[in-house]
Chains A and B, each alone.
Chain A
Amino acid sequence: MDAVLRAFALYLILLVLLRLTGKRSLSQVTTFDFVILLIVGEASQQALLGEDFSVIHAALVIATLLLLDRASDYLAWKFGWFQRWTQSVPAILVENGRVLDDVLAKFHLTEDDIVAAGREAHGLERLDQVKWAVLESSGGISVIPHSRAAS
């Protein structure tokens, strides 16, 4: 019983905390983010396992976590509101060539981040080559350049 309840509680805590940190937080994992992730894992391990070193306890914890994740996936697929609350929504950063500065500020992003995403995906050189840029719910920035024919 306690294995299932512990896993459930920790799943909720991690879900809430990671949602609060925003979608950008772990999309680009820097070395420091990676270390933080390791520490989070280390810290939750004690809470999950306690003083129980049995195989069946570990199996129950893992099964509960995977089941919750799968259930959350299913609910997100079934209900739009559940997906919005647990996985966020995409946001437009550049609208038809016009940079939405207020949206950028809200996400603590700069034009450099958009140009960087454009360089990586399409080899773009300047911001004015970007037609659309979207901050996806997963945290990545996707860029759609002006088509060559149009420019």
Chain B
Amino acid sequence: MTLQIGQNERFQQREWRLERIGWVIVGVFVLAGLVGLLGTGPLSWATARSEQGLATVEYQRITHHEADDSLNLVFPADAVEDGTISVELSGSWIAGVDIQSISPQPAEERAIPDGVVFDIAVERPGPTTVVIGFRAQEYGMLEAAVAVRGDTTSFTQLVLP
């Protein structure tokens, strides 16, 4: 009499091997998440600076779909013209994200083909930071161009599902 059991040693060996490979993959996945290959993290933080330095964008290379994210627009004192900074944002990024907040709030928003212009009133000249909070609504690569007084920089954001 033997035990009635569905044992299969060859399958068990194969299962153990696959399990080990699987856990290595999971470990790599978590590590990639930690360093910023799958979202926020040191490898995702990036800065784009325009040629004359009138606009600097601090953004994340990788963001998540339907997740709160923000980017900083940093302007030096020379970006101010007649008490306002006119920022031109254009590209697929504008259409692909839902802008939740702009701080400080622009005094005026105007539409341009394929984009939008924000006029930000400046009380005292000096380096200024504008924070844009947004939520990505589309997947894949979103490109944006940021221009201040004709000085343009651009950045690309990858939106993961």
Contact = CB atoms under 8 A, between A and B. Distances in A.
A52 B64 contact: yes
Interface residues of A, number: 20
Contacts of A55: 65, 161
Interface stretch (A18-26, A28-36, A62-70, A86-94): A62-70
B109 interface: no
A3 interface: yes
A104 interface: no
- Chain B contact residues, majority secondary structure: mixed
Interface residues of B, number: 22
Interface in A31-71: 50-57, 59-60, 63-64, 66-67, 70
A150 interface: no
A56 B66 contact: no
Contacts, number: 61
Contact of A60 (B23, B38, B66, B161): B38
A70 B27 CA distance: 11
Nearest to A5: B34
B39 A60 contact: yes
Contacts of B30: 4, 60, 63-64, 67
Given A52-B66, A53-B66, A67-B30, 6 more contacts: A3-B39, A54-B65, A55-B161, A56-B161, A67-B23, A70-B23
Which 10 pairs of residues, A with B, have the shortest CB-CB distance? Answer: A1-B41, A54-B64, A52-B67, A51-B68, A53-B66, A60-B33, A4-B34, A56-B160, A54-B65, A4-B33
